[in-house]
């Protein structure tokens, strides 16, 4: 009996050693170090021009960028250049397709759409092997056709720029982790960032006139498979968590938790927000004067809206069983779908704080706490 228990404890110790290190949230010191190494401003300032001291992330996106337009391809190039500068650990998948569209602006027929998918893969990664799952961060980059000149600063230029920032802030730490931990480098959670095209309706929101990019990609990834020791799994099953950012950048947002199945992730992000606020890193705390109300947390895990949802790019994935965290304020910003949703009506504090809340949470999710320098 004794020998059995010794053997059992040896076996358990061996299993524990073979398990990946516990992925831990960043503590205040680690979060402060990440913030110091990668301050979100000036790159995410809507008025910081390209060609400045550091590459501008947000201002190049603050142009009309309707599907198939010249501006849309300029914005795609802005994304491509950014990820190319982060190094060759990032790979690009272009999901290009043509879809039938309703008659608009005197045009009818079909339109070309392009989703861009950037992946930060472990070294030696095999494209046909399913060893890595992807934490998948998503925002749409297209803008509405009407009203004329619509910019869509919160919808979703700011979310796109925040995804660029997260990639920039976490690439080096991810590489350090892989260099230090062979287990992580061989089989691990990887990061995937999707810039979705055609989220907006061209004429009027309907099942056929909206979510062009997301509908196409979800269908494609349901059909595409990769090797797995017991057969093949669809590409869509490689999504560990689908995190969709939308309508961010206006002041004082309130974001509910929509889905019971990902309430754990909503809670993690909320805890990260509370930690950063108490560490004095959040701008929307500092700038609140003593007489006014204390800034409420943006994410409220007790505000469960699990009987409601907002139709958005996550739906084609959610319908196929993908776990989703939808980060969208309810109510929507006042400028929503108006000409006022532009760079002049953004809250710098909100852009700053969403950037650090999300980057810090993603860093913990990816197990980077010990690798922040």
Nearer to Zn ion, 152 or 364 (CB): 152
Q: Would you say 324 and 262 are in contact if contact means Cβ atoms under 8 Å apart?
A: yes
Q: Of the listed pieces 76-84, 147-155, 314-322, 324-332, which binds Zn ion according to CB under 5 A?
A: 147-155
Nearer to Zn ion, 14 or 205 (CB): 205
Find the shortest distance in angstroms from Cβ 238 to Zn ion. Answer: 28
Distance in Å, CB of 141 to Zn ion, minimum: 12
Q: Which stretch binds Zn ion (CB under 5 A): 16-24, 119-127, 149-157, 359-367?
A: 149-157
In the bound state with Zn ion, the residue whose beta carbon lies nearer, of 145 and 279, is 145
Stretch binding Zn ion (CB under 5 A), from 151-159, 189-197, 206-214, 348-356: 151-159
Which of 188, 197, 199, 341 is catalytic? The answer is: 199
Q: What Å distances lie between residue 16 and 21, 23, 131, 181, 185, CA to CA?
A: 9, 14, 19, 15, 18
Q: Please list every residue from 155 through 194 that binds Zn ion, using CB under 5 A.
A: 155
- 353 in contact with Zn ion (CB under 5 A): no
Between 45 and 155, name the residue whose CB sits nearer to Zn ion.
155
Whole-angstrom Cα distance, residue 161 to residue 193? Answer: 12
Report the nearest approach of Zn ion to the CB of residue 243 (Å).
18
Using CA atoms, how far apart are residues 218 and 226, in angstroms rounded to an integer?
15
Taking the least distance from each CB to Zn ion, the nearer of 89 and 115 is: 115
200 assigned to active site: no
Among candidate residues 188, 246, 313, 341, the one labeled active-site is 246
17 to 36: interface string for Zn ion, x by CB under 5 A:
--------------------
For residues 93-132, which are near Zn ion according to CB under 5 A? none
CA–CA separation, 341 and 157 (whole Å)? 10
Residue with tokens 């913030």: 35
User: Which residues, listed in sequence order, are joined to residue 117 by a DSSP beta bridge?
Assistant: 93, 194
DSSP, res 154: I
Q: Which is nearer to Zn ion, 30 or 154 (CB)?
A: 154
Rounded least distance, CB 312 to Zn ion, Å: 9
Contacts of 19 (CB under 8 A, 6+ apart): none
- CB of 162 or CB of 173, closer to Zn ion: 162
Beta carbon nearer to Zn ion, 43 or 72: 72
Contact window for Zn ion (CB under 5 A) among 43-51, 110-118, 148-156, 237-245? 148-156
The reply to whether 199 belongs to the active site is yes
Write the CA distances from 262 to 84, 95, 269, 301, 363, integer angstroms. 32, 27, 11, 11, 18
Contacts with Zn ion by CB under 5 A: the residue count is 1
Nearest to 271 by CA among 35, 25, 23, 30: 25
H helical segments located in the chain = 2-18, 28-37, 70-85, 158-180, 182-186, 212-223, 263-278, 283-286, 315-318, 348-365
Q: Is 162:46 a contact under the CB 8 Å cutoff?
A: no
Q: How far is the CB of 263 from Zn ion (least distance, A)?
A: 26
Least CB distance from residue 341 to Zn ion, whole Å? 8
The number of CA neighbours under 13 Å toward the Cβ of 189 is: 16
Q: Which residue of this chain has its Cβ atom nearest to Zn ion in the complex?
A: 155
Min CB(301)–Zn ion separation in Å: 25
Distance of alpha carbon 163 from alpha carbon 137, whole angstroms: 7
Distance CA 2, CA 369 (A): 40
Greatest Cα pair distance in the chain: 83
Token code pair at residue 264: 């754990």
Q: How far is the CB of 354 from Zn ion (least distance, A)?
A: 17
Contact 292, 272 (CB under 8 A): no
Residues that bind Zn ion (CB under 5 A): 155
Active site residues: 199, 246
């Amino acid at each position: 009996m004794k020998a059995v228990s010794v053997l059992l404890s040896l076996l358990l110790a061996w299993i524990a050693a073979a398990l990946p290190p516990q992925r831990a949230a960043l503590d205040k010191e680690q979060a402060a170090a990440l913030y110091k190494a990668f301050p979100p401003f000036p790159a995410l300032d809507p008025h910081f021009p390209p060609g400045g001291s550091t590459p501008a992330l947000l201002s190049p996106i603050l142009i009309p960028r309707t599907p198939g337009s010249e501006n849309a391809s300029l914005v795609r190039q802005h994304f491509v250049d950014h990820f190319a500068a982060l190094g060759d650990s990032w790979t690009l998948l272009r999901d290009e397709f043509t879809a039938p569209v309703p008659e608009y602006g005197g045009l009818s027929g079909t339109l070309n759409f392009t989703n861009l998918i950037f992946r930060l893969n472990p070294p030696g990664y095999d494209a046909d092997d399913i060893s890595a799952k992807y934490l998948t961060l998503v925002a749409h980059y297209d803008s509405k056709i009407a009203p004329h000149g619509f910019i869509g600063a919160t919808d979703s230029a700011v979310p796109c720029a925040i995804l660029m920032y997260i990639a920039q802030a976490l690439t080096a730490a991810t590489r350090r982790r892989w260099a230090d931990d062979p287990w992580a480098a061989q089989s691990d959670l990887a990061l995937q960032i999707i810039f979705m095209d055609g989220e907006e309706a061209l004429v009027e929101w309907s099942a056929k006139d909206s979510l062009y990019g997301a509908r196409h990609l979800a269908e494609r990834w349901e059909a595409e498979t990769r090797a797995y020791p017991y057969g093949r799994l669809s590409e869509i099953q490689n999504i560990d968590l689908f995190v969709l950012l939308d309508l961010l950048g206006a002041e004082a947002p309130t974001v509910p938790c929509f889905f019971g199945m990902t309430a754990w992730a909503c809670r993690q992000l909320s805890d990260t927000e509370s930690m950063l606020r108490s560490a004095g890193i959040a701008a929307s705390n500092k700038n609140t004067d003593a007489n006014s109300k204390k800034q409420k947390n943006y994410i409220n895990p007790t505000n469960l809206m699990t009987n409601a949802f907002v139709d958005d790019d996550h739906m084609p994935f959610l319908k196929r069983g993908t776990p989703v965290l939808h980060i969208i304020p309810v109510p929507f910003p006042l400028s929503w779908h108006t000409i006022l949703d532009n760079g002049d009506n953004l809250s710098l504090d909100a852009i700053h704080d969403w950037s650090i809340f999300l980057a810090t949470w993603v860093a913990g999710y990816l197990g980077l706490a010990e690798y922040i320098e």
